[in-house]
Structure 1
């Protein structure tokens, strides 16, 4: 792995002990673990933004750390260790993007459905974008002052989904520059290209994102709305489903609301289509709901549990991530994957 010759003082390694670095370079696994542990969270978030899957992100971080461990003896300190690790992780992600392609949302597969589609079969041939647990986000903001996006803005579903429409080099350039605040020269060294190529990739990536992102981020909306009001909206949404109260549910939605349910391919746009789906499927066909409030992708979310009878234990069913606009719900993405619950620290059954 090549060295990075220009390292910003903003991203120098805070408190990296020279003794641990020397020990790690001589094969001390415990010293290496001490060096990289403080950076795992932000590296995982970076890999998630690149890959659109928390599972893939964890695999990428693991592979990056294996590569870093093997190449650490050649690390000469011309960049910070953090910058070097981002180089390794980004290259791992670029290899995965090239091998696996991009992750999709139902909106990428075709137009919305006007009426409820019953008994859909999951699309197992599609690599679906997945949610990211907020607990896995780094607590400190690792970005430089020139970054265009806040760290939580850059894990919002709309942002990560938009990034999936970028080629790997554009995706990496945009995330490293606009999210993490690396310079064009640093990114050029990371990606073994020229500064001119980085600037060109940035310009193209920004045009794509401008055409796909909403004018207002969820973080901006949540700051205006406030956490208590956002949690109340999520709780009211979940409560309406549990009671089978279609009128209360519909009253929470914007006129142009969307509802999608990966891995099911059909999705709905507009109050009429979403109402028809809500009444015919979750309210009519699902006997008993329970829920726990959570957060995902920097957004309010609800973990739903389902049972055939209210008296029975309810099993993990879906995690619904909510897009809010003012004081209403503008988007619902229900990830139908019980395996996600463990990643969110949630039980798989509740009473």
Structure 2
């Protein structure tokens, strides 16, 4: 094969495979609970598919074939690994004045993901809403309670609406086995508390007002105004720390104690996991410049903030979300 033909073949393969990248990333993210691992899994899927494309005989749809490869990649990555979780999955709520802050490695935690990496821009509004709902932090965390093959079955059947026969073919098993795995997966999820949260609604005036009030209160560090926006059982978590808090009093005490360095912060809006999110910058840089501190992902229900999730791995998360490296005074 000439070099020109090889280049043309590579370009042609990429044109065939690239349209599936976002949906495959969404699938792998739900399987793995990490945007970075999902990106690695999809890249490996694309490499395997590119190498095998000439041998692909069209006996199944290209989409099904790619999902089979992606499933095998994810199952290999999950083999022997511990499930990812949120702080509230691992410990009881903490005191607002802990004697120590214990960190856990990155592989412990469910991580956030940009909507654009896992959700298609266009499509039926109801389908887009369903896909957004299925990348919520609480839902992805609940999926991690399932055995890997059960996880794949539930995502393919319940989230992606595949037929049982299609899933059976993908997994090399029977329809009866798929239906049994789905039943067990549903039972496990039913026993797992998944909090209801509202997805981001750019055209929803009530949500816009709530978020504007939140930004104003946080940047002024007006904790009376801030806590008035929180549900009475609202939670605050800060991976990689195990610590998490519940309720107005403990959240307020934390923000006036250990968290007082957040005073004077600025917030830059983004979207993560189908939810409103902000890059938080604290005034800790030279000359008062604001430096990255956390990616905040808010959970909202019925007009109140129910969860403040601050992810502190800004070195990797801010570039992933396209957030600035610093904010000048």
Q: Would you say the 8 A contact 1:117–1:277 is kept in 2?
A: no
CA distance in 1, matches of 2:175, 2:274: 32
Q: 1:226/1:216 Cα in 2 relative to 1: closer, same or farther (>3 Å)?
A: farther
Q: Deviations over 1:263-300 (max 9, x none)?
A: 01010112222222222233x23353111011110111
Q: How does 1:8-27 map to 2 (within 5 A)?
A: none
Q: 1:268 aligns with which of 236, 245, 248?
A: 245
How far 1:257 sits from its partner (Å)? 0.6
How far 1:27 sits from its partner (Å)? 8.6
Aligned to 1:256: 233
Secondary structure at 1:45's aligned position in 2? helix
Q: Would you say the 8 A contact 1:230–1:300 is kept in 2?
A: no
Q: Would you say the 8 A contact 2:261–2:282 is kept in 1?
A: no
Aligned to 1:187: 167
Gaps of 5+ in 1: 1-22
Gaps of 5+ in 2: none
CA distance in 2, matches of 1:40, 1:308: 38
Q: Does 2:85 align with 1:85?
A: no
Aligned to 2:224: 247
Aligned to 1:100: 81
Moved more, 253-262 or 239-248: 239-248
Q: 2:270 aligns with which of 280, 294, 300?
A: 294
TM-score, normalised with respect to structure 1: 0.84
How far 1:345 sits from its partner (Å)? 1.1
CA distance in 1, matches of 2:296, 2:106: 22
Aligned to 2:299: 323
Q: Would you say the 8 A contact 2:102–2:243 is kept in 1?
A: no
Q: 1:279 aligns with which of 256, 280, 296?
A: 256
CA distance in 1, matches of 2:105, 2:195: 33
Q: Does 2:204 align with 1:227?
A: yes
CA distance in 2, matches of 1:142, 1:168: 29
CA distance in 1, matches of 2:303, 2:277: 15
CA distance in 2, matches of 1:125, 1:37: 29
Q: Would you say the 8 A contact 1:50–1:163 is kept in 2?
A: yes
How far 1:119 sits from its partner (Å)? 5.8
Q: Does 2:217 align with 1:237?
A: no
Aligned to 1:160: 140
Moved more, 317-326 or 54-63: 317-326
Q: Does 2:43 align with 1:62?
A: yes
Q: Would you say the 8 A contact 1:42–1:142 is kept in 2?
A: no
CA distance in 2, matches of 1:121, 1:114: 13
Q: Deviations over 1:121-148 (max 9, x none)?
A: 42227521110101222224599x9x9x
Q: Does 2:181 align with 1:204?
A: no
Q: Deviations over 1:291-349 (max 9, x none)?
A: 10111101111110112379521111111111112111011111111120111111110
Secondary structure at 1:76's aligned position in 2? coil
TM-score, normalised with respect to structure 2: 0.90
CA distance in 2, matches of 1:122, 1:150: 34
CA distance in 2, matches of 1:268, 1:27: 56
Q: Would you say the 8 A contact 1:184–1:195 is kept in 2?
A: yes
Q: Would you say the 8 A contact 2:267–2:281 is kept in 1?
A: yes
- Pairwise CA RMSD: 2.6
Secondary structure at 1:248's aligned position in 2? helix
Q: Would you say the 8 A contact 1:287–1:308 is kept in 2?
A: no
Moved more, 195-204 or 95-104: 95-104
